[in-house]
Amino acid sequence: MSKSEATAGVPSILLKSGHTIPQLGFGVWQIEPSDTARVVSEALSVGYRHIDTAPVYGNEPGVGQAVAASGLDREDVFITTKLWNDQQSDDNPKTALYRSLEALSVEYVDLYLIHWPMPKVGTYLNAWEKLIELRDMGLTRSIGVSNHLPSHLDRLAVETGVVPDVDQIELHPAHQQQDVQAWASAHGMRVESWGPLGQGKYPLLQSEPVRAAAEAHGTSSAQVVIRWHLQNGLILFPKSSRRERMIENLHVFEFELSADEMAAIDAMDRPDGSGRVGSDPLVFNDGVVPDS
Ligand code: NAD
């Protein structure tokens, strides 16, 4: 596979770290560990060059096997992994990243994220200080957080002077988290959308504004929602184990949503949080005991 075939028109976004990230990638949550090497090989073969994983998904080894087997240069595949919640305290983030590098069979990752803030446990600031060290050691090129709200982001920035390169949050038309997006714009941070299609739980793909745009452009509803993220400058990595959907989700560069179509989808937001399909970052895993 050549590099040009690879990128399939996917734009690159420049992060504060000075490194670039393909705006559209492939997520592997809930892909069975035993099936991950096959699925990720398929994703790489249809053109994805950005893979989002985490140790808690149990499938880092499969991601690493697929990248190694692809014959692609390591530099040409962007790999994100994350620090799980029970590893935030003391020097544990360092041990955890070494374990992830071993599982992935790579010498560095492109992006390392704190998976959840667990504000009541109170260890995310320590974790952030350790991620800064890990970046300075060259074990990860960029660093960021996930599921962090403006109050958490403020604390990290004020205490360390280092703003995360990205915050990966649940984001789709029904749950846009405009407060995090505004914080990102004000601080030069980029936002990544997890659950970009609403995880199939929220009836996004059947909604009227999405269906109308899909009909107008002769595309699928999923392609419309992916375009909406891209045109909003968001980074995303929808997941599918099916080859035809992998291809469909990547081929979204031949059409553009109009301002009216974007506005109609924007209007689906539920700022009261009722569109959320995942966990609430203010309380998720607050029972986790550090060092357990
Ligand atoms: P998603 O919104 O990408 O939804 C995935 C589901 O949508 C698939 O299981 C499939 O059923 C359906 N789908 C995919 N393509 C489709 C198509 N073309 N047409 C119709 N249906 C389609 O949800 P996700 O997997 O949760 O999110 C993407 C990635 O985000 C994950 O794989 C993971 O890497 C990351 N993630 C991160 C966090 C976090 O806390 N940081 C949480 C959840 C997910």
249 close to ligand 1 (CB < 6 Angstrom)? yes
Tens digits of per-residue pLDDT, 222-264?
999 999 999 999 999 999 999 999 999 999 999 999 999 999 9
The answer to which of 79-83, 169-173, 267-271, 286-290 has the lowest mean pLDDT is 286-290
Q: Residue 2 above 70 pLDDT?
A: no
Q: Is 195 in the pocket of ligand 1 (CB under 6 A)?
A: yes
Active site residue 57: yes
159-181 pLDDT, tens digit per residue, is: 999 999 999 999 999 999 999 99
Q: Give the long-range contacts of residues 185-190, CB within 8 A, separation 24 or more.
A: 187/153, 187/157, 187/163, 188/16, 188/163, 189/16, 189/144, 189/153, 189/163, 189/164, 189/165, 190/13, 190/15, 190/21, 190/165, 190/166, 190/233, 190/235
pLDDT at site 82: 98
Question: 197 C-alpha vs ligand 1 centroid, how far in Å?
Answer: 6
Atom of ligand 1 nearest to the CA of 248: 18
In what helix (H) or strand (E) does residue 109 lie, and over which residues does it extend? strand 109-114
Q: For the whole model, what pTM was predicted?
A: 0.97
The string of DSSP codes covering 57-81 is: GT-HHHHHHHHHHHT--GGGSEEEE
Q: Residues of the chain with pLDDT > 70: what percent?
A: 96
The confidence score (pLDDT) of residue 286 equals 81
Relative to beta strand 140-146, strand 26-27 is unpaired
